[in-house]
Amino acid sequence: MATVLARPVLAYRGCAIDGGWVDPGRRLEVICPSDGSLIGEIARGSEREIDLAVAAARRAFEIGPWGRMPAFERGRMLLRFAEAIRAHAEELAGLESCDTGKPIAQGRADIDACARYFEFYGGAADKLHGDTLPFLLGYTALSLREPHGVTAHIIPWNYPAQIFGRSVGAALAAGNACVVKPAEDASLSILRLAELAFEIGLPRGALNVVPGLGEEAGAALAAHPDIDFLSFTGSREVGTLVQAAAARNHVGCTLELGGKSPQILFADADLDAAMPVVVRAIVQNAGQTCSAGSRLLVERPLWERVCNELRQRFAALRVGPHDSGADVGALINRSQFERVRGFVERAKADGIPVIAQTPLPADLPAGGHYVAPIAFGPVPEDHELATEEVFGPVLACLPFEGEAEAVRIANGTPYGLVAGVWTRDGSRALRLARRIRAGQVFINAYGAGGGIELPFGGYRHSGHGREKGFEGLLEFTRIKTVVIQHGEIGERQP
Ligand code: NAD
In short, whether 15's Cβ falls inside 6 Å of ligand 1 is: no
CA of 68 to the centre of ligand 1 (A): 33
CA of 253 to the centre of ligand 1 (A): 14
At residue 196, what are phi and psi to the nearest 5 degrees?
-65, -35
* Closest ligand 1 atom, residue 259 Cα: 34
* Closest ligand 1 atom, residue 237 Cα: 2
pLDDT of residue 259: 97
In short, whether 238's Cβ falls inside 6 Å of ligand 1 is: yes
Q: Is 130 exposed, middle or buried (0-12, 13-18, 19+ CB in 10 A)?
A: middle
Please spell the DSSP secondary structure of 348-406, one letter per residue: HHTTPPEEEEPPPPTT--TTS-----EEE-SPPTTSHHHHS---SSEEEEEEE-HHHHH
- Say how many C-beta atoms besides its own lie within 10 A of residue 367's C-beta: 14
d(CA 317, CA 360): 9
pLDDT per residue as tens digits for the range 368-388: 999 999 999 999 999 999 999
Geometric angle at alpha carbon 354, from 351 and 358, rounded to 5°? 145
Average pLDDT over residues 101-127: 98
Which of these, 477, 476, 437, lies nearest to 457 by C-alpha position?
Answer: 437
d(CA 299, CA 266): 5
pLDDT of residue 491: 62
CA of 234 to the centre of ligand 1 (A): 2
Atom 14 in ligand 1: which residue has the minimum CA distance? Answer: 214
Please give the model's pTM, rounded to 2 decimal places: 0.96
d(CA 64, CA 327): 46
CA of 12 to the centre of ligand 1 (A): 24
In short, whether 184's Cβ falls inside 6 Å of ligand 1 is: yes
pLDDT per residue as tens digits for the range 49-84: 999 999 999 999 999 899 999 999 999 999 999 999
Atom 32 in ligand 1: which residue has the minimum CA distance? Answer: 235
pLDDT of residue 10: 81
d(CA 13, CA 135): 55
Average pLDDT over residues 237-265: 97
The answer to whether the beta carbons of residues 410 and 265 sit under 8 Å apart is: no
pLDDT per residue as tens digits for the range 187-214: 999 999 999 999 999 999 999 999 999 9
398 — pLDDT class (breaks 50, 70, 90): very high
Which of these, 289, 239, 298, 294, lies nearest to 413 by C-alpha position?
Answer: 294
Atom 39 in ligand 1: which residue has the minimum CA distance? Answer: 256
**Half-sphere exposure in the Cβ direction for 296 (13 Å, CA):** 30
In short, whether 183's Cβ falls inside 6 Å of ligand 1 is: yes
d(CA 105, CA 267): 33
Express the helix, strand and coil content of the chain in percent, nearest 5 each: 40, 20, 40
Q: Is 256 a catalytic residue?
A: yes
pLDDT per residue as tens digits for the range 27-53: 999 999 999 999 999 999 999 999 999
Average pLDDT over residues 132-149: 97
Q: Is 15 a catalytic residue?
A: no
SS3 466: coil
In short, whether 158's Cβ falls inside 6 Å of ligand 1 is: yes
d(CA 16, CA 256): 25
CA of 486 to the centre of ligand 1 (A): 51
pLDDT per residue as tens digits for the range 437-487: 999 999 999 997 679 999 999 999 999 999 999 999 999 999 999 999 999
Measure the CA dihedral 391/392/393/399, to 10°: -50
d(CA 254, CA 476): 10
Residue to probe by mutation, ligand 1, list 106, 157, 238, most atoms within 8 Å of CB: 238
Average pLDDT over residues 391-398: 98
SS3 458: coil
Name the average pLDDT for the chain.
Answer: 96
SS3 108: helix
The answer to whether the beta carbons of residues 30 and 202 sit under 8 Å apart is: no
Atom 15 in ligand 1: which residue has the minimum CA distance? Answer: 214
d(CA 456, CA 255): 11
pLDDT of residue 246: 97
- Say how many C-beta atoms besides its own lie within 10 A of residue 479's C-beta: 11
pLDDT of residue 9: 73
- Say how many C-beta atoms besides its own lie within 10 A of residue 247's C-beta: 11
Question: pLDDT at residue 148 above 90?
Answer: yes
What one-character DSSP code corresponds to residue 423? Answer: -
Distances (CA, A) of 235 to 240, 255, 289, 462: 9, 9, 11, 9
pLDDT of residue 100: 97
- Percent of the chain residues topping a pLDDT of 90: 95
d(CA 23, CA 434): 51
Q: Is 335 exposed, middle or buried (0-12, 13-18, 19+ CB in 10 A)?
A: exposed
In short, whether 249's Cβ falls inside 6 Å of ligand 1 is: no
CA of 425 to the centre of ligand 1 (A): 38
CA of 154 to the centre of ligand 1 (A): 7
Quote the strand ranges of 134-187, DSSP E: 139-147, 150-154, 177-181
Question: pLDDT at residue 2 above 60?
Answer: no
Q: Domains plus CATH for the chain?
A: 10-257+458-480 (3.40.605.10), 262-451 (3.40.309.10)
pLDDT of residue 490: 67
- Percent of the chain residues topping a pLDDT of 70: 97
In short, whether 181's Cβ falls inside 6 Å of ligand 1 is: yes
pLDDT of residue 393: 98
pLDDT of residue 489: 72
Question: pLDDT at residue 177 above 60?
Answer: yes
In short, whether 233's Cβ falls inside 6 Å of ligand 1 is: yes
Residue to probe by mutation, ligand 1, list 158, 232, 338, 461, most atoms within 8 Å of CB: 158
d(CA 59, CA 20): 15
**Half-sphere exposure in the Cβ direction for 483 (13 Å, CA):** 8
d(CA 253, CA 227): 11
